[in-house]
């Protein structure tokens, strides 16, 4: 998030697009609902499903999955047409405006045209543009509904474009605010758990950065960008990747095109999985290492608003398990190295030294409430919102983003759009949440299908149906509802007994390499 959670209340208008906020980020949803309930803030929700938070919205629009760019461009089209943009901001802080304008002012982004593309009535698009465009400060929240597309990068650019032309970046109560799905996605990225960057987003291709880390670690480092998760499984499948070390992840359920993943894991020579449980992925490993849970060790995690918080040891780990950092150190040393961390604190010190944004976030300073990066020095108070005054790169860049359809569209054989996501009571691949019986009682597998489609196919509520795509098929009970639009079905991806990712398309965004979980063509059949 460019902004902080406490600042949610300061917005005059909040736009949620591609985030089932009350299910995936319930406490942020609560903050947004508070702001709406206090009466000062207006809420716009754009989502293919009428998600719970849409009930609190002043305007709700249900767009066809995969048409986000068209919708966002249309909003900007209307905003520019009516002169609601922040001209001074554009003048002083942005560049690339003319090229950008030439794109969004095309006729295909007029409300009437976009109504045809997205299914959102032109009148609604106009109303949203007006409410958003004329607001003093407006903030935008999104999650995987924006990123998990082959056009994910485009979608993200479009949200930034919108916020830039409205002058909503770098102000309290504004911002582009992606909501992070897991407790420490932010931290994993910050710490260089990415193929192209060292900790602190220092590029592996940058000679200076390379030199810095080589010196600190006293070794030679590679300056070639590594491969991403999706590419890893392709390489495994092709026999090019021989060894894989998985720490606390469950790609079996979380990655697209499950059959492909399984074959890849079967092919690889040597795979190590480090986890709390015998996960679906661990079953394919050659060695499994038992790891300590969050409550059994110390360290820091960084939340979606870049707040680094201390995670404390609450109970003792069961006998026989070790903390992840200890295990890593053991392997490193067994391979002939000389690591000597006595405790996580020693690693924190190294992070402070090598990660500019984290330089001031020392073990001693974090305290109960944490610190928000960037925090470059030990007397810096932390940064609640980014881009204040100027952008990190100097001027904000507006980029023309043409609309592109999703990779796989419905056709005669697979007439429905399948989109996936989360439910409130379960989490990710269920490794943690599914161990609590009550959560399972509350939320089991299902496929959400519109009343219209269900009636057409003679499917009744709770009836177990088959869902098939070009990649596979699963069975799940139908949840027949008006909350989803005709032509679209939705399946939460938490369940190994009905794994949504057996169905999803592994086509990826060319830049971010994120698979298109939110759109693929599917069909539903009765089981009997």
Partner 1 sequence: MQVYLNGKAYEAKPGETVLQLALRNGIYIPHLCFHEKTGQAAKCRACVVEVEGIPGLKTSCNLPLKEGLKISTNSERVLDAQRMVVDLALSSGRHDCLSCEQSGNCELQDAAYYLGIERPTYQLYEDNFEVDDSSEFILVDRSKCISCGRCVEACNHTVVNEVIGFGERGFATKIVFDGDIPMGTSTCVQCGECMQLCPVGCIIDKRAVGSGRNWELDKVETVCPYCGVGCRMEVQVDRKQNKITRILGVDDSPTNNGMLCVKGRFGFDFVNSDERLTSPLIKENGSFRDASWEEAIALIARKFTEIKKEFGSDAIAGLASAKVTNEENFAFQKFIRKEVGTNNVDHCARL
Closest residue to ligand SF4 using C-beta atoms: 27
In the numeric block, the tokens 């480090």 are attached to 274
Residues 321-380 binding partner 1 (CB under 8 A) are 321-325, 327-332, 334-337, 341, 344, 347-348, 350-351, 358, 368-370
Contact between 311 and partner 1 by CB under 8 A: the answer reads yes
Return the number of the residue (96 or 181) whose C-beta is nearest ligand SF4: 181
Contact between 310 and partner 1 by CB under 8 A: the answer reads yes
In the three-class reduction of DSSP (H, G, I as helix; E, B as strand; rest coil), residue 372 is classed as strand
In the numeric block, the tokens 């106009």 are attached to 126
Site string for partner 1, 250-289 (x = CB under 8 A): xx--xx-------------xx-x--xxxx------xxxxx
Burial per residue of 385-410, b for 16 or more beta-carbon CB atoms within 10 angstroms, e otherwise: bbbeeebeeeebbbebbebeebbbeb
Size of the site for ligand SF4 (CB under 6 A): 2
Residue 101 binding target from ligand SF4, partner 1, none, CB below 5 to 8 Å by type: none
DSSP string over 198-244: EGGGEETT-HHHHHHHHHHHTS----S----HHHHHHHHHTT---EE
The CB-of-31 to ligand SF4 minimum distance in angstroms stands at 10
Residues 427-456 binding partner 1 (CB under 8 A) are 427, 431-433, 435-439, 441-442
Residues 276-295 binding ligand SF4 (CB under 6 A) are none
Residues 390-429 binding ligand SF4 (CB under 6 A) are none
Contact between 314 and ligand SF4 by CB under 6 A: the answer reads no
Query: What angle is formed at CA 341 by the lines to CA 339 and CA 343, rounded to 5 degrees?
Result: 160
Residue 270 binding target from partner 1, ligand SF4, none, CB below 5 to 8 Å by type: partner 1
Q: Which of 248, 356, 376, 400 binds partner 1 (CB under 8 A)?
A: 248
Query: What angle is formed at CA 427 by the lines to CA 153 and CA 253, rounded to 5 degrees?
Result: 70
Contact between 183 and partner 1 by CB under 8 A: the answer reads yes
Burial per residue of 75-85, b for 16 or more beta-carbon CB atoms within 10 angstroms, e otherwise: bbbbbbbeebb
Residues 15-34 binding ligand SF4 (CB under 6 A) are 26-27
Residues 205-234 binding partner 1 (CB under 8 A) are 213, 217, 219-222, 224-229, 232
Q: What is the CA radius of gyration of the chain?
A: 24
Residue 341 binding target from ligand SF4, partner 1, none, CB below 5 to 8 Å by type: partner 1
CB 229, CB 257: distance < 8 Å? no
Q: Is the peptide bond before 374 cis (omega within 30 degrees of 0)?
A: yes
Q: What is the DSSP letter of 462?
A: T
CB proximity list for 360: less than 8 A, separation 6 or greater: 352, 371, 375, 376, 377, 378, 379, 380, 382
Q: Which of 71, 129, 480, 514 binds partner 1 (CB under 8 A)?
A: 514
Return the number of the residue (125 or 288) whose C-beta is nearest partner 1: 288
CB proximity list for 409: less than 8 A, separation 6 or greater: 417, 519, 521
The CB-of-146 to partner 1 minimum distance in angstroms stands at 11
The CB-of-179 to ligand SF4 minimum distance in angstroms stands at 10
The CB-of-93 to partner 1 minimum distance in angstroms stands at 28
Q: Which residues bind ligand SF4 (CB under 6 A)?
A: 26-27
């Amino acid at each position: 998030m460019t902004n902080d959670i406490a600042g949610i209340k300061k917005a005059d208008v909040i736009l949620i697009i591609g985030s089932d906020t009350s299910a995936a980020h319930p406490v942020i949803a609560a903050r947004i609902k508070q702001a709406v309930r206090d009466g000062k803030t207006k809420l716009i929700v754009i989502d293919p499903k009428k998600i719970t938070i849409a009930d609190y919205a002043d305007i709700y629009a249900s767009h066809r999955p995969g048409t986000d760019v068209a919708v966002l461009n249309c909003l900007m089209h209307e905003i520019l047409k009516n002169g609601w943009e922040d001209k001074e901001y554009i003048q002083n802080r942005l560049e690339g405006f003319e090229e950008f304008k030439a794109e969004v002012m095309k006729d295909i982004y007029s409300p009437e045209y976009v109504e045809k593309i997205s299914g959102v009535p032109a009148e609604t698009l106009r109303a949203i543009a007006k409410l958003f465009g004329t607001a003093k400060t407006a903030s935008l929240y999104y999650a995987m509904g924006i990123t998990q597309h082959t056009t994910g990068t485009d979608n993200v650019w479009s949200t930034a474009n919108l916020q830039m032309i409205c002058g909503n970046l770098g102000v309290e109560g504004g911002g582009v605010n992606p909501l992070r799905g897991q407790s420490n996605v932010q931290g994993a990225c910050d710490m260089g758990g990415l193929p192209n960057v060292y900790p602190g987003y220092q590029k592996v291709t940058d000679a200076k950065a390379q030199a810095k880390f080589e010196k600190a670690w006293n070794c030679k480092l590679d300056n070639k960008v590594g491969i991403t998760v999706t590419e890893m499984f392709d390489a495994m499948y092709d026999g090019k990747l021989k060894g894989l070390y998985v720490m606390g992840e469950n790609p079996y359920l979380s990655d697209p095109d499950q059959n492909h993943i399984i074959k890849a894991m079967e092919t690889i020579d040597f795979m190590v999985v480090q986890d709390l449980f015998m996960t679906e992925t661990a079953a394919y490993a050659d060695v499994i290492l038992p790891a300590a849970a969050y409550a059994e060790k110390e360290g820091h995690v960084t939340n979606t608003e870049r707040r680094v918080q201390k995670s404390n040891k609450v109970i003792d780990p069961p006998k026989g398990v070790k903390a992840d950092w200890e295990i890593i150190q053991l392997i490193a040393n067994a391979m002939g190295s000389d690591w000597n961390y006595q405790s996580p604190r020693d690693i924190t010190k190294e992070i402070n030294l090598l990660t500019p944004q984290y330089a001031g976030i020392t073990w001693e300073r974090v305290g109960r409430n944490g610190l928000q990066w960037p925090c470059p020095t030990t007397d810096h108070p932390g940064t609640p919102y980014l881009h204040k005054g100027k952008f990190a790169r100097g001027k904000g860049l507006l980029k023309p983003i043409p609309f592109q359809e999703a990779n796989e569209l419905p056709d005669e054989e697979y007439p429905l759009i399948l989109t996936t996501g989360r439910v409130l009571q379960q989490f990710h691949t269920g490794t943690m949440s599914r161990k609590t019986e009550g959560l399972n009682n509350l939320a089991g597998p299902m496929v959400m299908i519109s009343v219209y489609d269900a009636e057409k196919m003679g499917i009744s509520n709770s009836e177990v149906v088959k869902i098939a795509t070009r990649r596979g098929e699963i069975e799940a009970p139908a949840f027949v509802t008006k909350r989803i639009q005709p032509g679209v079905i939705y399946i939460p991806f938490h369940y190994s007994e009905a794994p949504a990712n057996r169905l999803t398309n592994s086509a990826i965004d060319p830049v971010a390499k994120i698979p298109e979980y939110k759109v693929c063509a599917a069909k539903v059949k009765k089981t009997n």
